[in-house]
């Protein structure tokens, strides 16, 4: 049975203590003959909190055309109501220059921007996790291919050695046969 130390020396030319976590996992998967691939989305979903899921939903809604169009309609309605319709009844609650509207927009922007940044950070973390998993799978595949090449090379060399021995034996027997034939001729 091959050990992790032997495998790391043979395939990576490293001591077991020098292995990176990804390399260690790839070598363990080779030793245990188990698949290494994992779904990055599943890993990210298992780690996420309620706040992170909420940040993703807010970013998805806030970054959509539906939100932009709907919010534009709300803003235009607000301005028309407070500029044209409600002043006729002396009921405008936010007349031009729309100070309350500006306060609301600033508050929304102040809350929405960090939430969207949190969502982007989560996406970056997911991408890093995915890249790490891809690296492990690629490393495992590369190491397996190296092992196959080594086995193939050993097999080919063993065959070539057998063929060489057969040729040498045949050559020697042919030479011995020629020597015997030349001894018989007067």
pLDDT at 175 exceeding the cut of 80: yes
Provide φ and ψ at 62, rounded to 5°.
Answer: -65, -20
Mean pLDDT of the chain: 89
Residue 183: predicted pLDDT:
66
pLDDT at 173 exceeding the cut of 70: yes
Decide: 173 and 41 in contact? Cβ < 8 Å. no
Decide: 143 and 19 in contact? Cβ < 8 Å. no
pLDDT at 38 exceeding the cut of 90: no
pLDDT at 186 exceeding the cut of 70: no
Q: What is the pLDDT of residues 60-84, one digit of tens each?
A: 998 899 999 999 999 999 999 999 8
Average pLDDT, stretch 14-21? 89
How far is Cα 69 from Cα 178, in angstroms, rounded to an integer?
100
Q: pLDDT: is 142 or 40 the higher one?
A: 142
Q: 143 CB contacts (<8 Å, ≥6 apart)?
A: 11, 12, 26, 27, 30
pLDDT at 23 exceeding the cut of 70: yes
Average pLDDT, stretch 86-110? 91
Q: How confident is the model at residue 184 (pLDDT cuts 50, 70, 90)?
A: low
Listed by start position, the domains of the chain span 35-184
pLDDT at 96 exceeding the cut of 80: yes
pLDDT at 185 exceeding the cut of 80: no
How far is Cα 156 from Cα 150, in angstroms, rounded to an integer?
10
The pTM of this model reads 0.63
């Amino acid at each position: 049975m091959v050990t992790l130390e032997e495998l790391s020396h043979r395939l990576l030319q490293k001591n077991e203590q020098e292995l990176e976590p990804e390399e260690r996992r790839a070598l363990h998967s080779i030793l245990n003959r188990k698949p290494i691939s994992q779904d990055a989305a599943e890993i990210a979903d298992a780690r996420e909190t309620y706040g992170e899921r909420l940040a993703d939903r807010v970013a998805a809604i806030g970054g959509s055309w539906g939100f932009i169009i709907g919010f534009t309609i709300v803003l235009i309605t607000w301005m028309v109501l407070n500029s044209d319709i409600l002043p006729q009844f002396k009921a405008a609650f936010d007349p031009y220059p729309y100070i309350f509207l500006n306060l609301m927009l600033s508050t929304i922007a102040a809350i929405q921007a960090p939430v969207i940044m949190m969502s982007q950070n989560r996406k970056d973390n997911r991408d890093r996790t995915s890249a790490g998993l891809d690296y492990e799978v690629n490393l495992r595949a590369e190491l397996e291919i190296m092992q196959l090449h080594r086995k193939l090379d050993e097999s080919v060399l063993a065959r070539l050695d057998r063929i060489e021995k057969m040729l040498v034996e045949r050559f020697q027997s042919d030479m011995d046969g020629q020597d015997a034939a030349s001894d018989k001729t007067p």
